[in-house]
Structure 1
């Protein structure tokens, strides 16, 4: 008898996994198709999506996450993808969506299916500033190209501090995790575009306990980069330099232990430990 109940429960569980639930759920797919998403920054995702009544649908929240947008349900009928540079709103039961404040007809209503919210892929590609560029009838493969990433905040953590750059502000915010105290260092890296540029934040400790933070903002096509170098002593900023349009790698710590700071006109050589300027050389 127990074995029979176990089998019955297993069947019910398997059915519950396959069937959507909720007031807006629907039977969405006749089959899966393969989706190749090519992003403007060069990387490619292969995602499975759904085909319903001859229309290919993609997961709104999955693509939103890959585009660095935050997703939320404002209420049970309204789903939102948002960032500082992009806002997409879709409504259950309506083919009319909003993209950056403008109404757009998706052609079909959104569909809930197994915990995912699906929208027509043609709409989704256009909303992410890309397009449907190919469809292979034989394999069922759909190709999207030119999709944008809207990442506008960059984080790093080290020794109990968080380092954050927001593209709209262009400053480096340093926050003490324990106390919440925040310091702001102006950098001027505004309107960061991760589709055309690459931004990294790295750290290096010297032998005499100075901390060097380097921020590199590089052009993906040309390789030219802007270099922001910050030197900290006991968590306080003592030196800062900014150089634009570099094409060669710069040695920050020389073999003799001295530190090189480069800006648009000069190279300053500073002493490890004290941060004192030892010499200034023209570039």
Structure 2
């Protein structure tokens, strides 16, 4: 039965893929990914077998390489807990270290490697659904992705499975060990930041910047002791960058944007929990840009105006009103490029004075605020 939702992609693919070898005819490989995505890909029908481009393995997050052997060109695809090796002209392949039947011989067409589509389904943990002989469409579902991101710290490899959000560690001679579930899928620009605390803990921040353009910014923060995660949090911001403060004095800070936990170094004990929404007075997620025993600097994601919270008196001060010239105040209230709000950046504390830079003008000026100003 003809499916209307396939007509447009099939027509587009036909225009871009008009020529086939004399021994093969045009076909299509409809892929339904496990995360709900879907794509229709050009394929070839040869001797009763549908062949698809091996590049789909790369779309699933595997890294490709090739080498030469006596029997043909060897193509290897490696990813997190997944490895595939195929050789042109061979009817067998290596899948996760085991020899399996391909169901056909891989071949080159227009400088691309084609392998049996059923093997791609098998390699990526999917299920064959149907073959529509009339429209030459082979459909498979539940195709898995195996993309990951890794970093090495202290001789240990830290790997996050981007699809599941699970974090693993692996020593030089050991097997992967699950140490945390980050709680959500990760998408694009992944980075790791490791900090060793004074008392031997590891403060790990995993950042995921994604979207088109990259306007989503999510941070996963974990405190690790003796190889185990003892505290963790995550927070996501929209069109808001910068960084959350991680340490002050002998304390570590974790935030989910709504609350803040002060963690004791060494033990991981929660010393204090602060309600950022209550302190800021705005229902939003907050960045935490500075902290000490007597003050807190927080910025709501949407309005983006930096607030000083006096932890001794509980008073709240909008710093742009105190520090910026009138024209810069208007700019802070109306600007939306690259994001809403002021661009004050806390640099350091000298005694009771907090110092800031204004990145909106970058004039080299130091802006100072005296903490004693709001205290009796």
Q: For the superposition of Structure 1 and Structure 2, which TM-score range results when normalised by the shorter chain? A: 0.5 to 0.7
1:205 corresponds to: none
- Pick the aligned partner of 2:75 from 69, 75, 79: 79
1:268 corresponds to: 274
For the residue of structure 2 that corresponds to 1:123, the secondary structure is helix
2:34 corresponds to: 40
2:122 corresponds to: 126
Displacement of 1:154 = 7.9
Deviation sequence 1:121-178 (CA, Å, 0-9, x none): 11110111012111112211111111100111189xxxxxxxxx73134796239xxx
Deviation sequence 1:83-114 (CA, Å, 0-9, x none): 12100001122111010001101121111111
Deviation sequence 1:204-254 (CA, Å, 0-9, x none): xxxxxxxxx74369xxxxxxxx84259545xx75553267xxxxxxx54xx
Note closer, same or farther for the CA distance 1:240–1:37 as it changes in structure 2 (3 Å cut): farther
Deviation sequence 1:52-92 (CA, Å, 0-9, x none): 111100111x2112101001103262101111210000112
Give the Cα–Cα distance (whole angstroms) in 1 for the partners of residues 41 and 67 of structure 2: 26
The aligned length equals 195
Displacement of 1:115 = 0.9
Note closer, same or farther for the CA distance 1:29–1:166 as it changes in structure 2 (3 Å cut): farther
Note closer, same or farther for the CA distance 1:40–1:231 as it changes in structure 2 (3 Å cut): same
Give the Cα–Cα distance (whole angstroms) in 2 for the partners of residues 273 and 89 of structure 1: 48
Q: Which has the higher contact order (CA 8 A, sep 6+)?
A: 1
2:103 corresponds to: 107
Which runs of no fewer than 5 residues in structure 1 stay unpaired? 1-16, 20-26, 156-164, 176-183, 190-198, 203-212, 218-225, 244-250, 253-259
Give the Cα–Cα distance (whole angstroms) in 1 for the partners of residues 90 and 48 of structure 2: 19
Give the Cα–Cα distance (whole angstroms) in 1 for the partners of residues 45 and 78 of structure 2: 26
Kept after mapping to 2: 8 A contact 1:80/1:88: yes
The alignment's TM-score, normalised by the length of structure 1, stands at 0.57
- Pick the aligned partner of 1:31 from 21, 25, 29: 25
1:88 corresponds to: 84
Displacement of 1:37 = 0.1
Note closer, same or farther for the CA distance 1:116–1:50 as it changes in structure 2 (3 Å cut): same
For the residue of structure 2 that corresponds to 1:73, the secondary structure is strand
Kept after mapping to 2: 8 A contact 1:28/1:111: no
2:219 corresponds to: 215
- Pick the aligned partner of 2:192 from 173, 181, 191: 173
RMSD: 4.0
For the residue of structure 1 that corresponds to 2:291, the secondary structure is coil
Displacement of 1:50 = 0.8
Per mean C-alpha deviation after superposition, the further-off stretch among 145-154 and 41-50 is 145-154
2:341 corresponds to: none
For the residue of structure 2 that corresponds to 1:149, the secondary structure is coil
Give the Cα–Cα distance (whole angstroms) in 2 for the partners of residues 28 and 66 of structure 1: 28
Give the Cα–Cα distance (whole angstroms) in 2 for the partners of residues 242 and 227 of structure 1: 6
- Pick the aligned partner of 2:133 from 134, 137, 154: 137
For the residue of structure 1 that corresponds to 2:290, the secondary structure is coil
Note closer, same or farther for the CA distance 1:53–1:241 as it changes in structure 2 (3 Å cut): same
Displacement of 1:185 = 3.4
Kept after mapping to 2: 8 A contact 1:70/1:82: yes
Give the Cα–Cα distance (whole angstroms) in 1 for the partners of residues 85 and 115 of structure 2: 11
